[in-house]
Structure 1
Amino acid sequence: MSERVESEIGLIPKEWVLCSVGELIATNILEKPLDGNHGEKHPKGTDFKNEGVPFIMATDINDGKIDLVNCKFIDKRLADSLDKGFSIEGDVLLTHKASLGRTAIVTEIKMPYIMLTPQVTYYRVKNTNKLNNHFLKYFFDSPVFQDTLLNHGDSGSTRAYVGITAQRDLPILLPPLPEQKAIASVLSSLDDKIDLLHRQNKTLEAMAETLFRQWFVEEADESWEEGTIADLIEFNPNRKLPKGSAAPYLEMSALSNNTFNPRDWYDREFSSGTKFINGDTLLARITPCLENGKAAFVTFLDEDQVAWGSTEFIVMRPKLGLHPFFAYVLARTDDFKDYAEGCLEGSSDYVPVIVRL
């Protein structure tokens, strides 16, 4: 086993070098990282088109991928007139505002470049003999980097923010290049397997939703007793979590609109919010998250562990011995979503806790 030495981020192999982003810029390993255009140069809502140059926001980066289909677009003539934020194939993207730490590599774009908002920074490797861009992306994903990034967030801001200047102090760990490539290869293979599992889960979800509709809607028996959803589902069941205790925390942005798996939970001291356990279904109770279909089925907790999130969630749990997944599939049905959307109230846009079908 390689000898290990102490560093600012803990023990590391002796042959590995701990640098800062600023040092990698100074030694021409990285180009100067840049984000998108601020102020008057930032494209306005009226500038967005149905096609053109992809205009990438933090919300367009999820699970290591860039959504180049559902993102906003701007005219190329406008894009060419901007000062910065031109990201090209091979760049490593890092979100640094509000949703901190999402990453992706720019691949196979149809335009010469994509445009970034001020929420996203591109990192461009200048010396590929010293740094592999795939390794850099995976290092950005590591807990040690994510924790450091979170600690660099501007506590004086209402939204977590790590500006371009502050990013120069962030640590980058440099193994020898062959090790970088080996690490990236192994993690890439694992990502492919995770991708496959996600696709399988999505297929199974679609099958469950189809069966649910067939059994309980299309083939409903006239003799069945009518009731309300409250007869079958308990809303916001009581869960105990001592104030100040560290517990998994889930943001609204972590919920998907097309699969049950949430992402990006992390430990945080409980103050106040919605509490849930494995087997609970989470439903967005605010607009536009509800209309976008944000929901989750909780499976990521340890046994008897209680997690929490904001009050923007409704927690659903089946009664009468029904399988816990029943609530999630119900929440995904068009009839349920249509009715829930009709229950949005006033300017607060909240769905009532007890939804009556």
Structure 2
Amino acid sequence: MGEWKTYKLCEVADLSTGFPFDGHKYAKEGQRVVRGDNVTIGELRWDKDKRWNEPFARTEEFSLREGDIVIGMDGSRVGRNRAQIKADDLPLLLAQRVACVRHNEKSLQKFLYYQIFSKNFENYIKSVHTGTSIPHVSLKQIGDFSFQVPDLSTQRRIAGILGSLDDKIELNRRINANLEAQAQALFQSWFVDFEPFRDGPFVDSQLGKIPQGWKVEALSNLATVIKKGITPSNAETYSHYSIPAYDDAHFPEKQSGETIKSGKYIVYNNSILLSKLNPRIKRLWFIKTAEENAICSTEFIPIQTKDTDLISFVYYLIDNDIFYQHALSLVNGATGSHQRFHAEDIMQIPFAWNKVAAIDFAQKANYILQKIEDNIRENQTLSALRDTLLPKLIAGEISC
């Protein structure tokens, strides 16, 4: 194995930040602009799909490329909010206060990816960021992150080993996305478009025409909100279903009570957690089997069905676009992080109901949700293996 040398990130990569687009007018059509609130843990999220469609002489300078790594430079999760640009994301323009990292001749982009997505990088940013109410980090501070760098052939081998694990994780994610889409389409077909029931008579209702023999119900007739609180004990470890854990891997984070510090809700088997925080970003978490000592953020609304056989029906009911858009119409607050769902409003939303059809759907959807949960758990095992290998490989402790 070749010699390893210590470099700063700015010595093995080109770093830049974007154009101050927020001082100009956005449009609904045009190129997407990557702003700080689009960069989450490991992915881009378009809750505010702001686009730029005016003539722009500096388009090339601020255009992102496939493989570029973007890092949010502000916010409570500074150092964790980072993502790699995929071909499907393009074209994209880079906004101010988002850092872009692009390798130079001393490094491979995939090797830099693993450095920036390491705990070492997270811990470094935590140690240097400034600001209390809104933490922030400068481009220079990001560039000063130092780490050991081997020759390019060793970098390639390290990236290959870790990449094989990431490829399987990504495959499982795509399988889950496909399974979710199938279940969502089935729910839409049965309970919104009523396609299997078109041959029978329909009757008027407050929702419009519904099949004869069906009725209109409110969510409160099928489910309840259970907000049993707990103050975490310093002496115990908890499985914390938090907003960052959902964004990161759809899996709870093991945390000591000492680090949690605030009151939480207890999480039970067969629960649905609906985030009330900034509801334009849909965060809906199905929990078939809760992890040991499970608790969740009070920014979730914890929902349980009165009949556990209907848990998957209720999950896909809330997940349905029409139901969710109705819920969004009831949101109060200003914008962004100040907006909230209210449980009492969600529980009164009406929907078309037929128990026989709901049970039939739930039996089909249960299989899908179980397969999704199995894939998430496998991804956790693969992620743990990758995270164990990562610091040893990139520190040269394991020969590759």
Structure 1 distance, partners of 2:215, 2:22, is: 55
Provide the secondary structure at the position in 1 that maps to 2:103: coil
Percent identity reads 21
Partner SS for 2:304 = strand
Contiguous gaps of at least 5 residues in structure 2: 198-209, 351-400
Shift of 1:133: 1.2
Which whole-Å CA distance do the structure 2 matches of 1:264 and 1:235 have between them?
A: 20
AA aligned opposite 1:329: Y
- Matched-pair contact (CA < 8 Å) for 1:270–1:308: no
8 Å CA contact 2:34–2:93 kept in 1: the answer is yes
Rounded to whole Å, the distance in 2 between the matches of 1:343 and 1:56 is 29
**1:51 matched to 2:30:** yes
For the residues of structure 1 that align with 2:143 and 2:181, how far apart are their CA atoms? 45
Question: 1:184-195 to 2 correspondence within 5 Å?
Answer: 184-195=159-170
Aligned to 1:143: 119
Q: Under a length normalisation based on structure 1, what TM-score does the superposition of the two structures give?
A: 0.71
Q: State the distance in 1 between where 2:249 and 2:313 align.
A: 15
> 2-side partners of 1:325 and 1:271: how far apart?
31
**How far off is 1:20 after superposition?**
3.3
RMSD over aligned CA atoms reads: 4.0
Partner in structure 2 of residue 294 of structure 1: 283
1:93 and 2:67 aligned = no
From the superposition, tell whether residues 249 and 42 of structure 1 become closer, same or farther in structure 2 (CA, over 3 Å). farther
Letter in 2 for 1:96: M
Q: Deviations over 1:202-228 (max 9, x none)?
A: 222233234445565635875568654
Secondary structure at the aligned position of 1:46 is classed as coil
| CA distance 1:334–1:66, change in 2 (3 Å) | closer
Task: Report the equivalent of 2:206.
Answer: none
- 2:296 aligns to what? 308
Q: Which has the higher contact order (CA 8 A, sep 6+)?
A: 2
Among candidates 213, 219, 226, match of residue 229 of structure 1? 219
The answer (yes or no) to whether the contact 2:42–2:84 under 8 Å persists in 1 is yes
Amino acid at match of 1:276: V
Alpha-carbon separation, structure 2, partners of 1:315 and 1:324: 13
TM-score (norm 2): 0.65
Q: 2:115, 2:230 → 1: CA distance?
A: 36
Alignment of 1:74-153 (within 5 A): 74-75=52-53, 77-78=55-56, 80=58, 85=62, 87-88=64-65, 90-98=67-75, 99-100=77-78, 101-106=80-85, 108=87, 114-127=92-105, 130-153=106-129
* Cα distance between partner residues in 1 of 2:218 and 2:47: 39
Decide whether the 8 Å contact of 2:107 with 2:155 is kept in 1.
yes
Aligned to 1:164: 139
Deviation at 1:183, TM superposition (A): 1.8
Q: 1:46 to 1:169 in 2, by over 3 A?
A: same
* Distance of aligned partners of 1:269 and 1:350 in 2 relative to their CA distance in 1, 3 Å threshold: closer
Aligned residue for 1:200, secondary structure, equals: helix
Provide the C-alpha distance between the structure 2 equivalents of 1:108 and 1:225, rounded to a whole number of angstroms. 46
